[in-house]
């Protein structure tokens, strides 16, 4: 059982310069699955997501669209980012905007503390800046332009020309934290994961850290530097603090102590900000560093990273309108090894939907409920004497539940799903081998038939609980169809870490009709077909 420990998990806060695509949704779903799992396991869980709304890129986007930065951010949040959460069934506990007063005033408190403690100083700065990244670029990410940008220096990530900026800024003494960071990575190898991400971060810091420019004076869309209002806070320094301000930093010490530190789920392209700059900021402020920073891979379409600027962005609704939100969530969590790059294709999505969801899981659920209805008048029968085949199912269920929970602890969502799916495969094979339709024709096999159908129904009970963090809609339908809600309570009340313990579905439970959990989809309806 759970010890009720705190599990605070965050997504990045997403930049409101454009609408969300499936790359953003992928991150949201991963964090949501982890949060749902821990929440249902009884842990004190909190899921934070939100939007990053300051900086030069937002100012330019708003100006180009004939509006103010605040109006632009309000429009995008209301019309695009909040609806995304409903589209893909995100059960977040909070949604923070960097234009919220709770954030802005406490960023200023944090900054003032670092200034008072001598970690911030004034200086002159000249360097190549990428507006797309909102970052002065390190030499490793500056490349020579080609084509229309030949002769210019461009950003290796955005392939757009860099701007030479020269201004008086305030600097954070990040360089003095290099040794502490290297010691952190050494003492806590789980702090940055997966291993490839950790190696990249360690290599970067070993090359030496420069002090970080943390203010801008060439534009005014941002949080004012408290001791010099001619400057605004650098957007990343502002944005990273959302993880702390959202849970009470600066205004609710009790809640901050309850929630912090966090597990951060981020795309690998923003890993350095979260695994280098952010812990250095926290060390300077005398606060605990995050529990973990996990840099997942990119979604690739046609071999390229998902990107609006490169026109490879796919809106989540393009998938959910055809396949539904459960299939969206399942596909991205199962088809891609979390932490690695993964390619999206409509063909693979369609194939997995049909083979794994519709035929594998959905058909299994429909057959079992239908046979209980047909052979036992809709009442789950008591099991008789168990045989080796029945014990094999029980062992598969127990092993799968244990393996899945262990995988979740490592954030290996794909491994957790693979473990749970062994129950689907085991039950399908079990029903094929036991042939309950044949047993039903022989009155002397009545007890055996009851044992087989109890075993199948109880296996579905475990599947409903274990899969509910990933496919909440389908599993709730199954839970109701099994009659489990009346006997055991709500699906979200079931303790997830004991889901593999056998015999929880009471004999005598009345099942209800079950429509197809994953209806057949005509090939012509698939957008990429």
- Active site residue ranges: 21, 24, 130, 133, 155, 158, 305, 308
Instruction: Check if the beta carbon of residue 167 is closer than 8 Å to that of residue 217.
Output: yes
Please give the sequence-ordered ranges of beta strands (E in DSSP) within 353-394, or none if there are none. none
61 burial type by CB count under 10 A (0-12 exposed, 13-18 middle, 19+ buried)? buried
**Residue 341 corresponds to which tokens in the numbers above?**
């790059």
Instruction: Check if the beta carbon of residue 456 is closer than 8 Å to that of residue 424.
Output: no
**Residue 210 corresponds to which tokens in the numbers above?**
């420069």
Helix axes 316-323, 325-335, angle to 10 degrees: 110
Q: Which of 230, 59, 217, 209 is closest to 124 using CA atoms?
A: 217
Q: Tell me the DSSP string of 220-269.
A: --SPEETTEEEEEE-HHHHHHTHHHHTTTTTT-HHHHHHH-S-EEEEEGG
**Residue 514 corresponds to which tokens in the numbers above?**
């079950």
What are φ and ψ of residue 96, in 5° steps? -105, 145
Instruction: Check if the beta carbon of residue 501 is closer than 8 Å to that of residue 397.
Output: no
Helix axes 413-434, 363-376, angle to 10 degrees: 40
159 HSE (CA, 13 A, CB side):
7
Q: Round to whole Å and give the CA distance between 122 and 379.
A: 76
**Residues belonging to the chain:** 529
Could you tell me if residue 489 is left (phi over 0), alpha (psi between -120 and 50 degrees) or otherwise beta?
left
Q: Round to whole Å and give the CA distance between 484 and 298.
A: 39
Helix axes 22-40, 316-323, angle to 10 degrees: 60
For the chain, the helix, strand and coil percentages under 3-state DSSP, each to the nearest 5: 50, 15, 30
**Residue 3 corresponds to which tokens in the numbers above?**
């010890």
What are φ and ψ of residue 360, in 5° steps? -70, -60
**Residue 361 corresponds to which tokens in the numbers above?**
């899981």
**Residue 89 corresponds to which tokens in the numbers above?**
């069934």
Q: Round to whole Å and give the CA distance between 417 and 420.
A: 5
Q: Tell me the DSSP string of 185-206.
A: HHH-TTSEESHHHHHHHHHHHH
**Residue 398 corresponds to which tokens in the numbers above?**
């127990």
């Amino acid at each position: 059982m759970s010890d009720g420990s705190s599990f605070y998990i965050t997504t990045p806060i997403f930049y409101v310069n454009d609408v969300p695509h499936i790359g953003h949704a992928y991150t949201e779903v991963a964090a949501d699955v982890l949060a749902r799992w821990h929440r249902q396991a009884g842990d004190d869980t909190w899921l934070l997501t939100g939007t990053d709304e300051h900086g030069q890129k937002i100012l330019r986007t708003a100006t180009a669209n004939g509006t103010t930065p605040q109006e632009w951010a309000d429009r995008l949040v209301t019309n695009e980012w909040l609806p995304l959460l409903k589209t893909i069934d995100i059960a977040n506990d909070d949604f923070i905007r960097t234009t919220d007063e709770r954030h802005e005033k406490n960023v200023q408190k944090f900054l003032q503390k670092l200034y008072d403690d001598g970690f911030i100083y004034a200086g002159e700065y000249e360097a190549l800046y990428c507006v797309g990244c909102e970052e002065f670029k390190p030499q490793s990410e500056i490349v020579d332009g080609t084509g229309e940008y030949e002769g210019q220096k461009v950003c290796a990530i955005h392939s757009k020309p860099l701007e030479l900026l020269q201004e008086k800024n305030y600097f954070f003494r990040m360089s003095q934290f290099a040794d502490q960071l290297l010691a952190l990575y050494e003492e806590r190898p789980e702090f940055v994961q997966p291993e490839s991400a950790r190696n990249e971060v360690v290599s970067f810091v070993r090359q030496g850290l420069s002090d970080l420019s943390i203010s801008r004076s060439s534009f005014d869309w941002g949080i004012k530097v408290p001791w010099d209002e001619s400057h605004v806070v650098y957007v990343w320094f502002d944005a990273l603090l959302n993880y702390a301000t959202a849970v009470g930093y600066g205004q609710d010490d009790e809640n901050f102590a309850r929630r912090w530190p966090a597990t951060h789920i981020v795309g690998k392209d923003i890993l350095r900000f979260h695994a280098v700059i952010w812990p250095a900021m926290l060390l300077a402020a005398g606060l605990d560093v995050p529990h973990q920073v996990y840099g997942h891979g990119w979604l690739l379409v046609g071999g390229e990273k998902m990107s609006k600027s490169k026109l490879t962005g796919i809106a989540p609704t393009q998938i959910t309108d055809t396949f539904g939100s459960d299939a969206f969530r399942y596909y991205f969590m199962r088809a891609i090894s979390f932490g690695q790059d993964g390619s999206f294709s409509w063909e693979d999505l369609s194939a997995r939907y049909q083979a794994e969801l519709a035929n594998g899981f959905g058909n299994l659920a429909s057959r079992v409920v239908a046979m209980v209805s047909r052979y036992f008048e809709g009442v789950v029968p008591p099991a008789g004497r168990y045989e080796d085949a029945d014990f094999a199912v029980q062992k598969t269920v127990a092993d799968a539940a244990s393996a899945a929970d262990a995988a979740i602890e490592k954030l290996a969502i794909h491994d957790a799903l693979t473990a749970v799916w062994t129950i689907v495969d085991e039950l399908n094979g079990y029903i094929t081998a036991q042939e309950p339709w044949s047993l039903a024709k022989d009155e002397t096999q009545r007890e055996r038939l009851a044992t087989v159908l109890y075993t199948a129904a109880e296996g579905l009970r475990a599947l409903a609980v274990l899969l509910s963090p990933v496919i909440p809609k389908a599993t709730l339908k199954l839970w109701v169809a099994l009659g489990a809600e009346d006997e055991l309570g709500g699906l979200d009340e079931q303790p997830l870490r004991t889901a593999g313990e056998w015999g929880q579905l009471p004999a005598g439970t009345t099942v209800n009709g079950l429509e197809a959990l994953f209806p057949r989809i005509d090939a012509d309806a698939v957008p990429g077909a």
